[in-house]
C-alpha cells in the first residue's frame, strides 16, 4: 500500500499528532485530513456530528464513509499497540441522533437541543467503547513535551468503564459477561427503541412540568394584577369619599357663617 500521507505536513485537528505518523490512511472530511479512529470516537462521545475543525455538519453519507474506511483498514488496529477500534458504528450513532425529533414549530430549538443532549447520554449506555490507548496528546518541540489532557479522545472511556475494566470485566469483553446488554442484542431487540422512547419520555415529562410551572406563574401574575386593580379602585373610591366629606364640611361651615 502506498503511504502517500507520509509526505503530509498536516496535524490531526483532534489529537494534534502529525498525519504522516498514522499507521493507516487518514480520512478526508470537508477538505481536512483526520485520524479516522480519533474522528469516530470524537463525534460519538460528544454527540456532535460535525467537523471538529470547521463545525460543518457531517451527513449520513459522511458517517457511512467513515465506517467503511475503518472497516477497510481494521487490520492495522490488531497490529498496533496504540489503536483499538471502537465497537460502535458512526452511522448508527448518527441515526440515533437524528431520530430525536420534536413535533413543534421550528422556533422550539431549545427543546430539540435538550432532547438530543439526553440522547447523547443514552449513547454511552447503548454502546460500549474501547479504551483509547494512545494516552495524553503530546507535542514535541525543542526538547519540550506538552501534554494536553483537555484534548484527550479518551473521554469516551470514562471512570465507569475504567472501573469495570479494572475489575476484570473486559478480559472476555462486556458482551460475554452481559450478553443481553451487548451491541448485537441491542440491535436485534426492542431495547434500542425502548431506550430512545425513554429518552423522549424523560424530556417530554420535563417539558410538561415546565409548562405547568409556567402556567402557574401566569395564573399567579393574573391574580396579582386583579388584586392590584381592585386596590386601585378602592383607593380611588376612598379619595372620592374623602373629597366629598371635605366638601360637605366646608359647605356647612360656610352656611353657618352666613347665618
What is the secondary structure of 146-190 as a DSSP string?
EEEGGG-GGGGS-HHHHHHHHTTTTSS-HHHHSGGGSHHHHHHSS
- Flag whether 226 is in a domain: no
Q: Quote the number of domains for the chain.
A: 1
- Flag whether 198 is in a domain: no
d(CA 97, CA 110): 15
- Flag whether 243 is in a domain: no
Contact 155, 134 (CB under 8 A): no
Q: What is the pLDDT of residue 244?
A: 83
Q: What is the pLDDT of residue 48?
A: 83
Q: What is the pLDDT of residue 131?
A: 36
Q: Which domain holds residue 87?
A: 4-157
Per-residue pLDDT of the chain (259 residues; tens, 9 = 90+): 678 999 999 999 998 999 999 988 999 999 899 999 889 888 887 878 999 888 999 999 999 999 999 888 877 665 554 445 555 578 888 887 777 655 555 545 665 666 666 565 555 554 444 434 444 444 444 444 444 444 443 343 344 344 444 444 444 444 454 454 444 554 455 545 555 566 666 667 767 777 888 888 889 999 999 999 999 999 988 888 888 888 777 767 666 666 5
- Flag whether 118 is in a domain: yes
Q: How far is CA 91 from CA 95, 98, 225, 259, in A?
A: 6, 10, 54, 105
- Flag whether 254 is in a domain: no
Contacts of 117 (CB under 8 A, 6+ apart): 47
- Flag whether 78 is in a domain: yes
**CA quadruple 32, 35, 40, 46: dihedral sign:** negative
Q: What three-state secondary structure class fits 32?
A: strand
- Flag whether 182 is in a domain: no
- Flag whether 93 is in a domain: yes
Amino acid at each position: 500500500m502506498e503511504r502517500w500521507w507520509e509526505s503530509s505536513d498536516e496535524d490531526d485537528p483532534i489529537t494534534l499528532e502529525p498525519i504522516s505518523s498514522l499507521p493507516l490512511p487518514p480520512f478526508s472530511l470537508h477538505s481536512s485530513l483526520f485520524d479516522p479512529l480519533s474522528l469516530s470516537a470524537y463525534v460519538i462521545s460528544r454527540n456532535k456530528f460535525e467537523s471538529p475543525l470547521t463545525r460543518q455538519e457531517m451527513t449520513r453519507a459522511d458517517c457511512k464513509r467513515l465506517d467503511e474506511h475503518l472497516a477497510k483498514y481494521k487490520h492495522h488496529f490488531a497490529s498496533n499497540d496504540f489503536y483499538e477500534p471502537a465497537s460502535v458504528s458512526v452511522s448508527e450513532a448518527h441515526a440515533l441522533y437524528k431520530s430525536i425529533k420534536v413535533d413543534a414549530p421550528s422556533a422550539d430549538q431549545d427543546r430539540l437541543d435538550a432532547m438530543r443532549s439526553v440522547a447523547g447520554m443514552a449513547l454511552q449506555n447503548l454502546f460500549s467503547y474501547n479504551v483509547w490507548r494512545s494516552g495524553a496528546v503530546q507535542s514535541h518541540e525543542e526538547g519540550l513535551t506538552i501534554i494536553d489532557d483537555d484534548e484527550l479522545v479518551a473521554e469516551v472511556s470514562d471512570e465507569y468503564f475504567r472501573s469495570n475494566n479494572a475489575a476484570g470485566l473486559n478480559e472476555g469483553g462486556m458482551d460475554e459477561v452481559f450478553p443481553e446488554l451487548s451491541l448485537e442484542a441491542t440491535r436485534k431487540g426492542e431495547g434500542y427503541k425502548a431506550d430512545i422512547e425513554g429518552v423522549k419520555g424523560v424530556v417530554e415529562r420535563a417539558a410538561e412540568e415546565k409548562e405547568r410551572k409556567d402556567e402557574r406563574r401566569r395564573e399567579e401574575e393574573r391574580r396579582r394584577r386583579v388584586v392590584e386593580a381592585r386596590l386601585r379602585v378602592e383607593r380611588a373610591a376612598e379619595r372620592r369619599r374623602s373629597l366629598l366629606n371635605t366638601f360637605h364640611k366646608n359647605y356647612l361651615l360656610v352656611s353657618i357663617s352666613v347665618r
